[in-house]
Amino acid sequence: MDLATLLGMIGALGVVLAAMLFGGQASVFVNVPSLLIVFGGTFLVVMIKFSISQFFGAFKVAARAFVFKLDSPQELIEKIVSLSNIARKEGMLALENEEIDNEFLNQGIQMLIDGNNQEVIQTVMSKDLQQTIDRHKWGAKVYSAMGDVAPAMGMIGTLIGLVQMLSSMDDPKAIGPAMAVALLTTLYGAMLANMVAMPIADKLNLRKTEEGRIKAMCIDGVLAIQAGQNPRIIESMLKTYLDPKKRSDAGADAAAEMDAAA
């Protein structure tokens, strides 16, 4: 569970709701026509921009903004270095008995065990990486489109409300509901765009970067093991994926792992 996403969204919505409650009667902020214009209009307009599968797939991808478990890069480096030690000393077939939690790394190691050449391994794993990036990219694009469309639909609702208000100036009772539509659509559009759609789009872009880095690390590690490179060279190469402040710690842990294996 990503607490940053959950706490941020709940907190932002809570602050707005609290302002509504403390400011008076909260029911005045509920207007069905405004909701239909903003939410219904936004979803339908965004659907025009994408295919059905991309549009509805974005809702599934959005779950990764809230629930996402990413392997520790430091632990992954230690595991790859450990596997490289075993492969150099006992051969590739010895890796079959190793337990690998990372599914993508496990897939690459299985291809090594099966005797696939470098070109096949790199092609298969790179395509998997690209598919992962594409899923996040299209999900982020859908929510970015919602962030762009929602305020526009709010403005359309505002214009509708103003037209209704101006056309019924001779009826004071009709002015209030028309003004409510005019103002609330703008509010709903701003909330949908800035408190839901755009933050999810940004978080999906972050997920794309994080998961892409982990999978790229796995690809480099598997290819290095196949090439028979020295475990210390592999460890140094993979450390380039880490934040500079964490590289020394990862190096110490990997060195200790190799000394223990020796």
> Global pTM?
0.79
> How many domains, in total, are found in the chain?
2
Based on the fold, state whether residues 115 and 15 are members of the same structural domain. Answer: no
First to last CA, the chain: 38
Per-residue b or e along 118-129, where b marks 16 or more CB atoms closer than 10 Å to that residue's CB: eeebbeebeebb
Range of the domain at 243: 73-128+216-261
**What letter represents residue 107's amino acid?**
Q
**Cα 85 from Cα 83, distance rounded (Å):** 5
Q: pLDDT, tens digit, for every residue of 214-240?
A: 999 999 999 999 998 999 999 999 998
Which one-letter amino acid corresponds to residue 24? G
| Rounded Cα–Cα distance for residues 200 and 187 (Å) | 19
User: How confident is the model over 157-216, as pLDDT tens digits?
Assistant: 889 888 878 887 777 777 777 787 788 899 999 999 999 999 999 999 988 888 899 999
Residue 67 included in any domain: no
Specify if 226 maps to a domain: yes
